[in-house]
Amino acid sequence: MKFLSLKWGKEYVVAMGDTIDCVSLIMQLSKKAPLLIPVQAHCMATVPSLFPKHAAVDFVTMRNFAHLPELEREYETLNIHSDETKTVGIKGHNDMIGLYMAANLDYSKRDEHCPIPTQVKHVVQLKVPTRPYAFVPEGGSPGTYFVNRKYIDPSLDIIVPPKNTPMLQWASIIEHATEIHCHITSWWRLIDKIPTRGKLFMHHYARQSSIPINEFEFRKEWEQLL
């Protein structure tokens, strides 16, 4: 088994949203050799559920970022390290595109190898409310990034998932939501990969990003709120 080290420039790629976007990459690489994936402790409730049981993938909880070099020394390591300068000017998630390039994988075909839409069928789902509702995931730190309620239809109930909840168990609630309101967080990267029926709203003001808005690669039609 090889320890998988993903880096964009000097930064390790282990955040929840980045991991969601790297599932396809990991699945493809794991066909060549079994992989050990570092996972932040608060993400461990979700990350293993993104992969099918037959996948040649195992997981290790990282204590902190200083733990990652230790793991690289402990295990034979597969290094997928991206040079960020090679994706300058490319529209989309430059860090993700760079990683796929470094792994010699076709980023445009990532959906063909992504098991997430199938995996939600293997996770026990939370009960869908009977009253119309808005799903409002305010990121990994509810209360830190705030979605202004003035943008939400006042006739709707509001559902805010708790911090560090297993994300796939919300798939049915996400699918049947009348409205979904996100800021730039891991949730929208999941939501873009699973079925939805309601209106989608992206609240950029709630969490500022260094990435220009026109360079985000949204897979669905999100109304952009600045």
| Residue 140 pLDDT | 57
The total of structural domains in the chain comes to: 2
| Residue 78 pLDDT | 98
| Residue 97 pLDDT | 87
Do 138 and 173 fall into the same domain? yes
Do 6 and 105 fall into the same domain? yes
| Residue 87 pLDDT | 53
Encoding tokens for residue 25? 């990459």
Do 131 and 58 fall into the same domain? no
Whether the predicted pLDDT of 189 surpasses 90: yes
Do 8 and 108 fall into the same domain? yes
Q: Considering the entire predicted model, what is its pTM? A: 0.92
The residue from 115, 149, 183 where one domain ends is: 115
Do 31 and 70 fall into the same domain? yes
| Residue 110 pLDDT | 94
Whether the predicted pLDDT of 180 surpasses 70: yes
Do 100 and 170 fall into the same domain? no
Mean pLDDT of all residues in 116-141: 92
User: What mean pLDDT, rounded, does the chain reach?
Assistant: 91
Do 151 and 205 fall into the same domain? yes
Radius of gyration of the chain (CA): 18
- Rounded percentage of the chain residues whose pLDDT exceeds 90: 78
Residue 136's CB is within 10 A of a number of other CB atoms, namely 25
Mean pLDDT of all residues in 28-42: 97
Q: Are 24 and 114 in contact (CB under 8 A)?
A: yes
**Spatial separation of the C-alpha atoms in residues 209 and 205, rounded to whole Å:** 9
Q: pLDDT-derived band of residue 207, with 50, 70 and 90 as boundaries?
A: confident
Do 195 and 176 fall into the same domain? yes
Residue 8 or 22, more confident: 22
Range of the domain at 76: 2-115
Mean pLDDT of all residues in 80-108: 77
Do 177 and 110 fall into the same domain? no
The residue from 94, 115, 136 where one domain ends is: 115
Does residue 146 sit in helix, strand or coil? coil
Do 12 and 68 fall into the same domain? yes
Buried residues in 85-98 as b, exposed as e (16+ CB within 10 A)? eebeeeeebbbbbb
| Residue 182 pLDDT | 94
Whether the predicted pLDDT of 86 surpasses 80: no
| Residue 144 pLDDT | 77
Mean pLDDT of all residues in 9-27: 94
Whether the predicted pLDDT of 143 surpasses 80: no
H or E segment at 129? none
Encoding tokens for residue 74? 């402990």
Angle between the N-to-C axes of helices 94-102 and 16-30, in degrees from 0 to 180, rounded to the nearest 10: 20
The 10s digit of each residue's pLDDT in 55-82 is: 999 999 999 999 999 999 999 999 999 8
Do 129 and 111 fall into the same domain? no
Whether the predicted pLDDT of 88 surpasses 50: no
The residue from 115, 141, 159 where one domain ends is: 115
- Rounded percentage of the chain residues whose pLDDT exceeds 70: 93
Q: pLDDT-derived band of residue 111, with 50, 70 and 90 as boundaries?
A: very high
Do 151 and 70 fall into the same domain? no
